[in-house]
């Protein structure tokens, strides 16, 4: 008897787990996967592989949404464990994270590249041992006066929250299109 195996996708939003970080620029990855979960009607209730996860299933695929709780700089440890546990192909994994080198409100979807200045993505690239990782970079803009560290950990003000809410909506639609069969090239053309 042949078993029907579902294609498994993994979408990881990067952030820091403590309450003090929940509404900060460095947690926009978490916020974006929360938007995806809300659209799909699933909740983050399972703790596994040093992450909090939510699972969505259809007849043809399973989607694991994950928020690593390893803290940003060790995100790769959780990603490696999730990829191993669910035997996820590299081409079925997307990492979502904040990027200060992109203007606030912009979305950049890429199939590969360096981690830039982002320590969480640097750790993932080092542990997975490749730069060929699909990613969605959410622009948070440059700090005006504060140091980079202070800026990414600062709380999001209302006007920026409205802008980011629209970004999360677009980025989540891009992810949903991807897991529903759109190629990454098509997703990039539509949402970049």
What pLDDT is attached to residue 4?
A: 57
Predicted confidence (pLDDT) per residue in 145-181, tens digit: 788 889 999 999 999 999 999 999 999 999 999 999 9
Mapping DSSP to helix (H, G, I), strand (E, B) and coil, where does residue 16 land? Answer: coil
Pairing of strands 107-110, 134-139: antiparallel
Taking the C-alpha atoms of residue 53 and residue 45, their distance in angstroms, rounded to an integer, is 6
What pLDDT is attached to residue 1?
A: 41
Active site residues per annotation? 26
Q: Is the pLDDT assigned to residue 191 strictly greater than 50?
A: yes
Report the side by side order of strands in the sheet with 61-68.
46-48, 51-57, 61-68, 7-13, 93-99, 134-139, 107-110
Q: Is the pLDDT assigned to residue 2 strictly greater than 50?
A: no
Mapping DSSP to helix (H, G, I), strand (E, B) and coil, where does residue 59 land? Answer: coil
> CB-based burial of residue 26 (10 Å sphere; 0-12 exposed, 13-18 middle, 19+ buried)?
buried
The dihedrals phi and psi of 20, each to the nearest 5 degrees, come to -60, -20
What pLDDT is attached to residue 149?
A: 86
pTM score above 0.85: yes
Give exposure, 124-151, as e/b (b: 16+ Cβ within 10 Å): bbebbeeeebbbbbbbbbeeeeeeeeeb
What integer is the mean pLDDT of 124-140?
Answer: 95
Predicted confidence (pLDDT) per residue in 34-56, tens digit: 999 999 999 999 999 999 999 99
CATH number attached to the domain at 7-191 = 3.40.50.1470
């Amino acid at each position: 008897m042949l078993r029907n195996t579902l294609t498994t996708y993994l979408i990881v939003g990067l952030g820091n787990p403590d309450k003090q970080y929940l509404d900060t620029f460095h947690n926009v990855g978490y916020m974006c996967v929360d938007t995806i979960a809300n659209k799909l009607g699933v909740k983050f209730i399972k703790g596994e592989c040093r992450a909090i996860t939510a699972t969505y299933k259809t007849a043809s695929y399973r989607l694991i949404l994950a928020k690593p709780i390893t803290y940003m700089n060790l995100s790769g440890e959780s990603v490696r464990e999730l990829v191993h546990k669910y035997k996820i192909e590299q081409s079925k994994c997307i990492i979502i994270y904040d990027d200060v080198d992109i203007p606030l409100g912009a979305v950049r979807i890429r199939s590969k590249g360096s981690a830039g200045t982002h320590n969480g993505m640097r750790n993932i690239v080092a542990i997975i041992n490749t730069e060929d990782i699909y990613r969605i970079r959410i622009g948070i803009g440059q700090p005006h006066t504060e140091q980079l560290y202070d800026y990414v950990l600062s709380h999001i003000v209302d006007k920026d929250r409205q802008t980011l809410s629209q970004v999360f909506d677009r980025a989540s639609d891009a992810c949903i299109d991807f897991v529903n069969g759109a190629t990454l090239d098509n997703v990039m053309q539509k949402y970049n």
